[in-house]
Amino acid sequence: QFSDHEERLSGSDGEEDEDDVEAALKKEVGQIRASTEQKLRRFQSVESGANNVVFIRTQGIEPENLVHHILKDMHTTKKKKTRVILRMLPISGTCKAFMEDMKKYTETFFEPWFKAPNKGTFQIVYKARNNSHMSREEVIKELAGIVGSLNPENKVDLNNPQYTVVVEIIKTVCCLSVVRDYVLFRKYNLQEVVKSSKEDGQQNPSSLTEEQNSEVVKAETEEKSSKEVKEENK
């Protein structure tokens, strides 16, 4: 936008034609700016394709850090800050929900956490909505094999793993994320994490400063952004 002083310098008070052109130009610039700002909103709702599931696409925000920070705050303060949201999961990548596509995609997607020299204990949690062609056992077996192939020192731990691989399938889209403190934060359940428990005294949430500085890998098969924060109440 031009300041009033700049407008007076660049315009001619006596020529209406120039004023009209300038007004039209300013209007067009304003429309372009408004359109750009709308596309670059920090949070934008996206149709999920499943009942009771809401996707929030983020711009310039790491969904893993954001969701972990929210849960860490709720776990520490024990203050219930939502009545209708049950779970909140970060989604770092998406691909087609077919075994070959998932295998090809996760070979690269898992690297920031599990490729040597990186290593850690892990578990895989799986949930499918509006999808019946995928086998839970097959998906877990194949993805665990990929994690093991990246570094043989990666070990399965179903009790208190360092990382939890979250696999959420909705129709023909596979949503993926690797999260920390999944057990401590009650499976990222916003209602349960505020409840007091004796186990809380035995575990401490990971420091955000220790967050893996992972490079975001965009899904080749999806035109939408691969970074979305998912809120679900089911």
Please determine, for residue 118, whether its predicted confidence score (pLDDT) is greater than 60: yes
Q: State the pLDDT confidence band at 42, using cuts at 50, 70 and 90.
A: confident
The stretch 140-145 carries a mean pLDDT of 97
**Per-residue confidence (pLDDT) for residue 60, from 0 to 100:** 87
Residue with tokens 């300041």: 3
Fold type of domain 46-188: THUMP fold (3.30.2300)
Q: Which tokens is 134 given?
A: 């995928």
User: H helices of 49-176, where?
Assistant: 63-77, 99-109, 111-114, 136-150
The stretch 23-42 carries a mean pLDDT of 74
Cα 100 to the chain's mean position, in Å?
Answer: 23
118/132 Cα distance (integer angstroms): 34
**Per-residue confidence (pLDDT) for residue 35, from 0 to 100:** 65
Please determine, for residue 97, whether its predicted confidence score (pLDDT) is greater than 70: yes
Classified as helix, coil or strand, 230 is strand
Distance (Å) of CA 179 to CA 10, 100, 121: 55, 23, 12
**Per-residue confidence (pLDDT) for residue 211, from 0 to 100:** 39
Q: In what order do the strands lie in the sheet with 163-170?
A: 93-96, 173-179, 163-170, 121-129, 155-156
The stretch 67-82 carries a mean pLDDT of 94
5/148 Cα distance (integer angstroms): 66
* Half-sphere exposure (Cβ direction) of 145: Cα atoms closer than 13 Å: 9
The stretch 180-198 carries a mean pLDDT of 89
Please determine, for residue 227, whether its predicted confidence score (pLDDT) is greater than 50: no
Least Cα distance to 166 among 141, 187, 152, 186 occurs for 187
**What's phi and psi for 203, nearest 5 deg?**
-130, 150
Q: What is the pTM of this model?
A: 0.70
**Per-residue confidence (pLDDT) for residue 206, from 0 to 100:** 65
Please determine, for residue 186, whether its predicted confidence score (pLDDT) is greater than 80: yes
**Domain map (residue ranges) of the chain:** 46-188
Q: Which tokens is 119 given?
A: 């290593």
Share of the chain above pLDDT 70, in %: 74
